[in-house]
């Protein structure tokens, strides 16, 4: 017959520790998410002629254009510059979000995002 000895007391303690760690990580993730949502990220294009600011909530909060970039005969260039600056600001925001979450999760890929299944 197998012994029932030392195993029975180990599981509840480990499970409690695991739950406490999970709750702590959840609080940290919530705090980090809130802090990241309050940040703003600004990127420029066209040598600074176009500046776009986005929030951590993925909203464009500001678009600034210098007068020399506003050419009625070349609207496409202005559109491209706005798009480039906006995309770069969002890339910066996503990069910081990913980095901050990776620090909390120990590189696990967030909430299952890094798993191939």
Question: pLDDT tens digit string along 86-103?
Answer: 999 999 999 999 998 888
Put residue 46 in one of left, alpha, beta given phi > 0 → left and psi -120 to 50 → alpha. left
Which letter does DSSP use for residue 107 in this model? S
Token pair 């979000």 is at which residue? Answer: 97
Token pair 């995309």 is at which residue? Answer: 87
Please tell me whether the overall predicted TM-score, pTM, comes out greater than 0.75 for this model: no
SS3 call for 43: strand
At 117, the pLDDT band (50, 70, 90 cuts) reads very low
């Amino acid at each position: 017959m197998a012994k029932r000895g030392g195993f029975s007391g180990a599981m509840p303690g480990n499970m409690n520790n695991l739950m406490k760690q999970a709750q702590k990580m959840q609080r940290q993730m919530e705090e980090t998410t809130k802090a990241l949502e309050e940040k703003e990220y600004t990127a420029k294009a066209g040598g600074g002629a176009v500046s776009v600011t986005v929030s951590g909530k993925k909203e464009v909060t500001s678009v600034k254009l210098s007068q020399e970039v506003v050419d009625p005969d070349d609207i496409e260039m202005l559109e491209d510059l706005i798009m480039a600056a906006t995309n770069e600001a969002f890339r910066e925001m996503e990069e910081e979000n990913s980095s901050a979450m990776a620090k909390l999760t120990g590189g696990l890929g967030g909430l299952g995002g890094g798993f191939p299944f």
